[in-house]
Structure 1
Amino acid sequence: MKKNLLKFASLIVFGLLLVGCNDDFLETQPLSQASDVSVWSDVKLAEAAVLDLYQGTWAGTLTREETTDAFTDQAVFTHPGRGVDGYTEGKMNPAGNFMDMQWFSWPQIYPFIRNANIAISRLTANEAGFDQAFVDQMLGEAYFMRAYYYTQLMRQFGGVVLLTEPLDLDSEANNPRGTFEETVNLILADIAQAETLLADAPASKQRAHLLTAMALKSRVLTHVASDLYEPSKASSVATIASYSNPELIGWTGGSQEQRWQAAKAASKALLDATTGYKLDYTAPAARDEAIQNYEDIWLQGDENQDYIWGRSVEEFGFGSRTYPGGDGWSQGPGMVALYHGPNGYHEWAGTTPTEALVSKYSMADGTPFDWDNPAHAADPYTNRDPRFYATILYDGGPWKQRTDDVVKFDKFNELQTGFYTLSDGTIINGVDTRQGPIEDWNGSRTGYYFRKFADPRTPASWPNDLQKVDAPYIRYTEVLLNYVEASLNTSDEGEAVAWLNKLRFRNGMPAVTESGSALVDLYKNERNIELVNEDARLFDMKRWMEGPESLNKPVQQILIQATQKAGTPAIDPGDYRKDPAMFDYVYRPTDIVFENRIWQDHVYFMPIKQEEIDKDPSIIQNPGY
């Protein structure tokens, strides 16, 4: 469906269904008789109403400067005062002292659930006598979107308020939370409906169809099987063990083994139903080819086989009510390079990688990177996992053409995140540092920037760096990793290794040799670096119950100091570039005083905002709040 139709859908549904992304779901206004007639008796308007359900996805992880990786060990948000510390310092509370990401937000998602309920009700009744194939597709999409939104809430809150019919005024004040099991069962029932209704729907990377529903089922069941939702494991956390309503945050009956078997079957079904991108290598891809393989996945966007479902800029547009940018591109993915790029390119360094993330990238031969290894410490950015070079911008790494006003500081288009002393004593503060000459307030605090999701083909500096990079919500590789995890948890190491090798070979890494706990650790590391900035690490950190390991430590930067070698020719400061033949480099991982990171166990589950509980006292708060 082209962009202009989505804009049309947005205008129609915004006006007729009285839905705004800031509405509270408890302030529901029923459809007027005019709305019923206008929307559900006309094929185009009915389809527009269903298309509008996709608006609540925003652009997922590419929506804003802050990514959910900034709530974990893997990244940090550069600019204080926006609520990221609610997560990283454990400050979040029901008053709302935390960043509420739109695509996971209780008050911002429920209006879309309400509209899904309206669509399901009206299409099921089908009083207009629409063609059955049309009704099936629209119903299937509505069920899928309701399942997706409840999944977003389940991952944050556990069991939530389950609304399956349009509310009327008399029913709004008494809607208690469903149990975790009830919430999951509703999601799975909606997915099953979607799979049936969309069995013959056309394949699409923008709209739900059979494969999309299968992929979501894999994600849901992987979460459900995880330790955070298994009471025998989660009871090690004091706030969870003492909670008076464990049924709201965990699966209190049945076997975790059975849940892992279900997750394994769901993931394998998707893997068998379609194919991934370049997973047929029998040996590691060459380094440059592997870098390109990883970069292709987001640069090719919805044209790449790995991309199952997301928001595609060209096809589904961003000039709509959840993206009010006047030029159609100046929100979300259109601004990712600007959001996260280096200040030396006049960009904002919004979310930047930590040294903790960079250290997760092993050496190219598969051995772990280790700062205590003198060879690694002397030359840390050589011979690393190829995904490192496609994900991270680092000191001396190549990047785009500098803008005209910055060329005098860097003629070679290389990142400068260190401090360089020339033979005459002149000290150069790298142009991409917080002490540099260009917009120092936008410099990285860690010495790194994200390259992933930034299009190297578009010029730097606003407004010229608007880009058209699609926002992936679910990738084939995520389901592959889900299958590996389920295989490990059902004692099927051989299957886990076989699929891990497919992924590693595509990425230029050697075959797996680990087993037992070492294999589990390797799998987790693969998942961490493969799904950087894809809304994965935050939820993996929680469901693996790794909160303390992730956040109970300070952020580290890389401090880089270089000194020109004696006897080398004098150079002008504007002619500096990284050159180990000319300079001696010292790299020191260093704690920084920024965000007093400390893990608090209540962060495993989000607080329900007090304003929601005030409106409906039947809603029970999550543990630790």
Structure 2
Amino acid sequence: MTFRSFPLARPATLVALLATAGLQGGCDSFLGPEPRGELTTDNFFETEAHAVQATNATYSYLRNWNVHVFGWIGMTDIASDQSVKGSTPADGSFLLDLDNLTFDPGNNAFSGTWAGYYRGIFRANVALEGIPRVPQMDEALRARLIGENQFLRAYYYSFLVRAYGGVPLVTEPLEPDELEQPRASREETYALIESDLRAAIEALPEESAYGAADAGRATKGAARSLLAKAHLYQEEYEEAYQQATAVINSGEYALYPDYAELFSYAGENSSESVFEVQTVSTAENNAGSQYSQVQGARGNLNLGWGFNQPSDQLEEDFEPGDPRREATILYPWEQIPDGSGRVPYLNPQIQNQRFNQKAFESPDRAGNQGNSGVNIRRIRYADVLLVAAEAAARTGRDAEAQRYLNEVRARARGEMTATLGLQVEALAPSIAQVLNLGGVDSRVFARRVEGAAAEAGLAPLDAGLDTEVEPAPIVVRSIDLVTSVDGAAVQSLADYEAAMASVTPGQTVSVGVVRLRQAAAGAAPTREDLTLSVTAEALLPDVTAAGDALVQAIWRERGSELAMEQHRWFDIIRQGRAPELMAAAGKTFIVGKHELYPIPQSEVESFGLQQNPGY
């Protein structure tokens, strides 16, 4: 077997391999000028610096287009019920086939990820072969670097086995006459993953042992977490429980207090970060990725290409008032999360007007979207808690499962215990100017209204473009500004949250509302002052269910907590829920076929690899 888009055999030179070997940490940790002269596998591994550089090369490929960008996003999110292709209808047709589950073995996503992940494995194999023979180096560092490459090889294989099932196992750089390798079984592939991760656990330090310059390197906790997930996918629940709880009991991690801020620049490498792909946005080098560019809002304000948009199903799946909905979905007319007050305008060329806010990159950053500095969060502590919760529930430890689950829910609700069924946002200055608010002090509006608030008569934002005019200006057909809650004046989101912090479930409160309507763009709005009575309900209450109902609650929580973070497709496959969820999304999931993606057609035709069932 061969992978024509990259070297699988021993390379004649390592210059190309190391050209992108940036360390996964801060700017001062990136490599300087690339090594001079011709470097080969025979003369390269001579110094400690060579061992570090080879390891950095394995990390650097995590930023690659074929590893954590276009096709990968399609295979992990767009294929699922929580996302749609996005962008303009004709753009990215191969992603539309993933969205509709009409893909075949020739789809670009499969050939791309297959090549990308095997190239990452190739780099790990080069390092694992070469580092042991470096003649003089610190032995603790040698052991750690070997452990890092074992973790990374396991990480690369973890995607391949979930996507394609058993795959060819390549554990060393091959000679030219060794290129044709057979597919291993799923069990054999997981056995390699587990072996690498167990070795990595022994070799790697805990998170706290690293300095700031080494942020993003693999840790004992990351290896345990990935091993826990490998066991979970194999329904080995006791083993998953043991590994996940070891991470929890290590005391190395904690949930970040502010869920929305977790996905901002301030939340990178936070207390919740178990493993995230490090990127740096600079104008001078290629240390970023196109992760945010692919998913950013498209049009005016231009943040990217507009792919991977949250679906109707995802918007509905959040429980009433769940703050994670607003932190996950970037809407038209919503202020972008960089403090600038700017908003993405409605784009009439795009069918679905929602974007992945967790992938946000400010247009003011040095590298902009094409060289984005958005770290790609791959394992969060919340994920580990939910793995532990599910494994505990599956092994008869319901009380422990409830505790881990409710810890995640408590962080999500913050200081509030009740909701009125409102998703509120801060009114952008540009929208306020369009409305000419005059004497209205509040800048808090209802984006979405559900439950008791809808029954009481509150209404969600209704805004669009007046397409009769060129260029099309904003028209706000209806907007409800919240001016008070239970007698407390509301002018800002902080005011609203402070007022809601004292509201309890079941309490009926008065809500002051100013409703503004525009008949046409530029028209003076009509105003209606309302006082509505709304009965609050519990916001993300603690789960007390047991048995199968508890497992179902954990699955639902994963859908809300980890939405748009590229976990959904593989989650619903292993849970056995894909047929029903995809049917609800209007897609036909074929049992016995769609559990796995097809092996790329080029590999089947050239090397006789056995194709997966149904293709």
Does the TM-score normalized on the shorter chain lie above 0.5? yes
Say which of 165, 172, 176 aligns to 1:169.
176
User: SS in structure 2 opposite 1:599?
Assistant: coil
1:481 corresponds to: 386
Q: Which has the higher contact order (CA 8 A, sep 6+)?
A: 1
1:228 corresponds to: none
Shift of 1:16: 6.2
Does the C-alpha gap of structure 1 residues 41 and 460 become closer, same or farther in structure 2, counting only changes over 3 Å?
A: closer
Q: Which amino acid aligns with 1:106?
A: W
2:504 corresponds to: none
Q: How many residues align?
A: 452
The answer on 1:50 being equivalent to 2:55 is: yes
Q: Which amino acid aligns with 2:130?
A: R
Shift of 1:69: 1.6
Q: Which amino acid aligns with 2:601?
A: Q
Q: Which amino acid aligns with 1:158?
A: G
Name the CA distance, whole Å, in 1 between partners of 2:558 and 2:248: 17
2:254 corresponds to: 277
Residues 422-457 of structure 1: per-residue CA shift (max 9 Å, x gap): xxxxxxxxx4141xxxxxx2x3x23333322325x7
Q: Which amino acid aligns with 1:356?
A: Q
2:329 corresponds to: 392
The normalised TM-score by structure 2 is 0.66
1:600 corresponds to: 590
Name the CA distance, whole Å, in 1 between partners of 2:377 and 2:168: 27
Shift of 1:76: 0.9
Shift of 1:224: 1.4
Does the C-alpha gap of structure 1 residues 184 and 71 become closer, same or farther in structure 2, counting only changes over 3 Å?
A: same
Name the CA distance, whole Å, in 1 between partners of 2:364 and 2:238: 48
Does the C-alpha gap of structure 1 residues 171 and 391 become closer, same or farther in structure 2, counting only changes over 3 Å?
A: same
1:5 corresponds to: none
Q: Does the aligned pair in 2 maintain the 1:82–1:99 contact within 8 Å?
A: no
Residues 445-494 of structure 1: per-residue CA shift (max 9 Å, x gap): 23333322325x76599959986332112111111111111112112221
Name the CA distance, whole Å, in 2 between partners of 1:107 and 1:401: 36
2:40 corresponds to: 35
Does the C-alpha gap of structure 1 residues 299 and 622 become closer, same or farther in structure 2, counting only changes over 3 Å?
A: same
Q: Which amino acid aligns with 1:621?
A: Q
Does the C-alpha gap of structure 1 residues 100 and 610 become closer, same or farther in structure 2, counting only changes over 3 Å?
A: closer
Name the CA distance, whole Å, in 2 between partners of 1:108 and 1:512: 41
Shift of 1:266: 1.0
Name the CA distance, whole Å, in 1 between partners of 2:360 and 2:402: 31
1:503-582 alignment to 2 at 5 Å? 503-508=408-413, 509-554=540-585
Q: Which amino acid aligns with 2:596?
A: F
Does the C-alpha gap of structure 1 residues 311 and 454 become closer, same or farther in structure 2, counting only changes over 3 Å?
A: same
The answer on 1:345 being equivalent to 2:345 is: no
1:357 corresponds to: 314
Shift of 1:326: 5.6
1:8-27 alignment to 2 at 5 Å? 13-15=14-16
Name the CA distance, whole Å, in 1 between partners of 2:64 and 2:565: 11
Name the CA distance, whole Å, in 2 between partners of 1:609 and 1:465: 27
Name the CA distance, whole Å, in 1 between partners of 2:141 and 2:367: 43
Shift of 1:343: 3.0
Shift of 1:121: 2.1
Q: Which amino acid aligns with 1:612?
A: E
Does the C-alpha gap of structure 1 residues 448 and 110 become closer, same or farther in structure 2, counting only changes over 3 Å?
A: closer
Name the CA distance, whole Å, in 2 between partners of 1:329 and 1:306: 23
1:585 corresponds to: none
Q: Which amino acid aligns with 2:385?
A: L
The answer on 1:295 being equivalent to 2:240 is: no
User: SS in structure 2 opposite 1:220?
Assistant: helix
The normalised TM-score by structure 1 is 0.65
1:252 corresponds to: none
Shift of 1:340: 2.4
2:98 corresponds to: 87
The answer on 1:192 being equivalent to 2:97 is: no
User: SS in structure 2 opposite 1:119?
Assistant: helix
Q: Which amino acid aligns with 1:100?
A: F
Shift of 1:34: 5.5
User: SS in structure 2 opposite 1:534?
Assistant: coil
Q: Does the aligned pair in 2 maintain the 1:19–1:111 contact within 8 Å?
A: no
1:288-437 alignment to 2 at 5 Å? 292-314=258-280, 328=286, 331-333=289-291, 335=293, 339-341=295-297, 343-347=299-303, 348-363=305-320, 384-394=321-331, 397-399=334-336, 431-434=345-348
Name the CA distance, whole Å, in 2 between partners of 1:447 and 1:360: 17
Say which of 56, 61, 76 aligns to 2:84.
76
Q: Which amino acid aligns with 1:131?
A: D
User: SS in structure 1 opposite 2:614?
Assistant: coil
Unpaired segments of 5 or more residues in structure 1?
Answer: 1-11, 21-31, 226-258, 280-289, 320-324, 364-383, 404-411, 416-430, 435-440, 556-596
Name the CA distance, whole Å, in 1 between partners of 2:252 and 2:137: 35
User: SS in structure 2 opposite 1:303?
Assistant: coil
Q: Does the aligned pair in 2 maintain the 1:307–1:472 contact within 8 Å?
A: yes
1:128 corresponds to: 135
Q: Which amino acid aligns with 1:362?
A: E
The answer on 1:451 being equivalent to 2:371 is: no
The answer on 1:609 being equivalent to 2:610 is: no
Name the CA distance, whole Å, in 2 between partners of 1:514 and 1:459: 47
Q: Does the aligned pair in 1 maintain the 2:225–2:244 contact within 8 Å?
A: yes
**What do you get for the CA RMSD once the two structures are aligned?**
3.6
Name the CA distance, whole Å, in 2 between partners of 1:164 and 1:329: 27
User: SS in structure 2 opposite 1:134?
Assistant: helix
Name the CA distance, whole Å, in 1 between partners of 2:94 and 2:156: 23
Shift of 1:139: 1.2
Q: Which amino acid aligns with 1:335?
A: Q
2:184 corresponds to: 178
Name the CA distance, whole Å, in 1 between partners of 2:252 and 2:17: 41
Name the CA distance, whole Å, in 2 between partners of 1:137 and 1:305: 22
Shift of 1:519: 2.7
Q: Does the aligned pair in 2 maintain the 1:276–1:477 contact within 8 Å?
A: no
Residues 574-611 of structure 1: per-residue CA shift (max 9 Å, x gap): xxxxxxxxxxxxxxxxxxxxxxx332331211111232
2:151 corresponds to: 144
1:378 corresponds to: none
User: SS in structure 2 opposite 1:472?
Assistant: strand
1:112 corresponds to: 120
User: SS in structure 2 opposite 1:117?
Assistant: helix
Does the C-alpha gap of structure 1 residues 222 and 200 become closer, same or farther in structure 2, counting only changes over 3 Å?
A: closer
Q: Does the aligned pair in 1 maintain the 2:259–2:324 contact within 8 Å?
A: no
User: SS in structure 1 opposite 2:377?
Assistant: strand
Q: Which amino acid aligns with 1:84?
A: L
- Of Structure 1 and Structure 2, the greater strand share is in 2
Unpaired segments of 5 or more residues in structure 2?
Answer: 1-12, 22-36, 414-539
2:244 corresponds to: 267
